């Protein structure tokens, strides 16, 4: 296993240019996601999807703009990967989570499993797609297309350890300067998904950017689910046996 690589998206310097969205589409040959007018600020992309692997959110607030480039979180405990029945979703040598499109059979289980609503099925194609953290570029020692294209270094790519240190320093600087809202999102290894491989510096609550404030990997409760299910199965078997008792 090589070093864990990831993204640190510092939204305090995002200027909403959407170069990341474009660069991602161009490099990864991601299909058209529709020419839509959503009438929500400057965001006509809407959300991450099978055909949108970077999404810039725009939030207009009194006295300020919030802009943030969202992406797959490449969770430490990834629900999509856990529930994938074919093994199409796998963890790479960079500790990122990638779909093998030659294996995916389009069962769709990963879609409702993701606590961030990232991965989705591409309809005409039938398979599930999401950010690969530019697996092909990483293999060639190149940084992912979105990070490369970002003009303000809002999207930073690198070894996750270094990014976390850099992010902690950055939050300190911002708070010192009076930006008390600055906080890291997904940098804590003790959160519900074991920390993100792609984490963020936000200036407001995560939900304001369309992100879940306290995501938990659903498979954390799976042992309990199997136990309840075993109990229910035994009860069913017991009910059948009892139905044949001589007298009722």
Minimum distance, C-beta of residue 146 to other proteins, in the bound complex (Å): 20
Token digits of residue 214: 């306290």
Q: How far apart are CA 57 and CA 150, in angstroms?
A: 15
Give the nearer residue to other proteins in terms of CB position, either 45 or 96: 45
Minimum separation from the CB atom of position 202 to other proteins (A): 11
Beta bridge partners of 185: 200
Cβ proximity to other proteins: between 20 and 84 the closer is 84
For other proteins, give the closer residue by CB, 27 or 116. 116
Please give the Cα distance from 144 to 148 (Å, whole number): 6
Nearer to other proteins, 115 or 186 (CB): 115
Least separation in angstroms between residue 9's CB and other proteins is 15
Beta-carbon contacts of 24 under 8 Å, excluding residues fewer than 6 positions away, are 30, 53, 54, 131, 145, 146
The two three-digit tokens of residue 154, written as one number:
């809002």
How many other C-beta atoms can be found within 10 angstroms of the C-beta atom of residue 236?
10
Residue closer to other proteins, measured from CB, 158 or 210: 210
Kindly state the smallest distance separating residue 143's Cβ from other proteins, in Å. 25
- The span from the first CA to the last CA of the chain, in angstroms, equals 63
Q: How far is the CB of 72 from other proteins (least distance, A)?
A: 12
Q: Are 115 and 212 in contact (CB under 8 A)?
A: yes
Cβ neighbors of 238 (< 8 A, separation 6 or more) are none
């Amino acid at each position: 296993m090589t070093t864990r690589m990831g993204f640190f998206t510092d939204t305090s310097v995002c200027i909403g240019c959407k170069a990341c969205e474009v660069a991602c589409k161009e490099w990864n040959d991601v299909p058209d996601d529709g020419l839509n007018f959503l009438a929500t600020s400057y965001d006509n992309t809407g959300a991450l999807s099978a055909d949108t692997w970077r999404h810039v959110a725009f939030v207009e607030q009194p006295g300020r703009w919030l802009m943030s480039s969202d992406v797959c979180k490449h969770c430490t405990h990834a629900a999509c990967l856990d529930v994938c029945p074919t093994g199409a979703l796998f963890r790479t040598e960079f500790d990122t989570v990638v779909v093998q499109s030659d294996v995916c059979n389009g069962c769709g289980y990963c879609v409702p499993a993701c606590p961030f609503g990232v991965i989705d099925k591409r309809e005409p194609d039938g398979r599930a797609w999401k950010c690969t953290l530019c697996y092909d570029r990483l293999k060639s020692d190149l940084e992912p297309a979105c990070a490369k294209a970002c003009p303000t270094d809002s999207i930073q790519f690198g070894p996750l350890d270094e990014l976390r240190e850099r992010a902690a320093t950055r939050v300190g600087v911002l708070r010192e300067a009076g930006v008390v809202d600055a906080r890291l999102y997904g940098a804590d290894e003790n959160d519900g998904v074991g920390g993100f491989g792609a984490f963020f510096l936000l200036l407001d609550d995560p939900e304001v950017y369309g992100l879940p404030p306290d995501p938990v990997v659903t498979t954390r409760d799976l042992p309990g689910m199997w136990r309840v299910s075993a109990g229910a199965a035994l009860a069913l078997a017991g009910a059948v046996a009892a139905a044949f008792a001589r007298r009722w």
